[in-house]
Amino acid sequence: MKKIYNNKWSWNRRAIIVLINNQMIAASMHGMPHGAGALPNGFSGHFCVHFSGSITHRLKNEDLSHKLMVLKAAGKLDDYIHTVNPYELIRIFTIAINQGNQELLAMTLSNPSHPNRVNKLVKDITYFGVVDPLRQPPEQLNGLFLVDVPVQVAIYKKKEGKEIKVMHFMIRKESLPDRWFIDQDAIYEDLK
């Protein structure tokens, strides 16, 4: 198990398939031993496997990062991302950075087929968190093709430490039936 996490225990979520009685069930796991339940096998605690609708131990709510990996395991992640609003898209972007999931990050950004400059910037980020979502009134979020969502964030970088600032997520659509994307060029400038 440790090998799939590059020989380091990790809270990062992974999409998995659980096989029970010849039935494949989409699920998500992390690779961090924690809590009670240790067996005499060198793994100090247990790790969690989440299924659709699973809740966390502590907060008793569904963990979005596990939900995304369950959807990925089920082959439904792209369909789900097509349904999210700009605020949810920012949450997914945040999870992608914190989990080091470049595939998920690319799904949130415009021009995913172009070389992703944002990936180079986020490699130095050890934590990216939304401090205050600075929610706009719903009538200001109803842009047909472009929405500016200001968000106060905390960014921790390996060499530079912590920075708190307001970032402007320029979120756009190519057409009315299309899904929302975070403008890659604008977010690149904000992260520099």
Contact 122, 128 (CB under 8 A): yes
Is 58 in a helix, a strand, or coil?
A: coil
Report the CATH number at residue 136.
3.10.450.100
Tally helices (H) and strands (E) across the chain: 6, 7
Residue 119 is encoded by which pair of tokens? 């990936």
Indicate if the pLDDT at residue 17 is higher than 60: yes
User: Looking at residue 190, what is its pLDDT?
Assistant: 86
Q: Which of the pair, 104 or 114, is modelled with greater confidence?
A: 104
Contact 180, 89 (CB under 8 A): yes
User: Looking at residue 154, what is its pLDDT?
Assistant: 95
Indicate if the pLDDT at residue 10 is higher than 60: yes
Beta-bridged to residue 30, according to DSSP, are 13
Kindly indicate the confidence band of residue 108, based on its pLDDT and cuts at 50, 70 and 90. Answer: very high
Q: What percent of the chain has pLDDT over 70?
A: 92
Q: Which of the pair, 103 or 60, is modelled with greater confidence?
A: 103
Residues 92 and 186 in one domain: yes
Of 77, 101, 118, which residue is a domain's last? 77
Indicate if the pLDDT at residue 136 is higher than 70: no
User: Looking at residue 34, what is its pLDDT?
Assistant: 86
Report how far residue 109's alpha carbon sits from residue 116's, in angstroms, rounded to the nearest whole number.
Answer: 9
Work out the burial of residue 156: count CB atoms within 10 Å of its CB; fewer than 13 is exposed, 13-18 middle, 19 or more buried: middle
Which range among 74-83, 106-115, 159-168 shows the weakest confidence by mean pLDDT? Answer: 106-115
Name residue 92's amino acid: I
Indicate if the pLDDT at residue 163 is higher than 80: yes
Q: What percent of the chain has pLDDT over 90?
A: 48
Specify whether the backbone of 165 is left (phi greater than 0), alpha (psi in -120 to 50) or beta. Answer: beta
Residue 13 is encoded by which pair of tokens? 């979520």
Beta-bridged to residue 128, according to DSSP, are 155
Residues 99 and 180 in one domain: yes
Q: What is the pTM of this model?
A: 0.87
User: Looking at residue 135, what is its pLDDT?
Assistant: 61
User: Looking at residue 95, what is its pLDDT?
Assistant: 96
Report how far residue 132's alpha carbon sits from residue 160's, in angstroms, rounded to the nearest whole number.
Answer: 22
Domain count, the chain: 2
Indicate if the pLDDT at residue 60 is higher than 70: yes
Stretch 96-109: mean pLDDT: 92
Residues 132 and 99 in one domain: yes
Residues 105 and 133 in one domain: yes
Q: Which of the pair, 16 or 177, is modelled with greater confidence?
A: 16
Asked if residue 83 is part of any domain, the answer here is no
Q: Report which DSSP code applies to 166.
A: E
Residues 119 and 43 in one domain: no
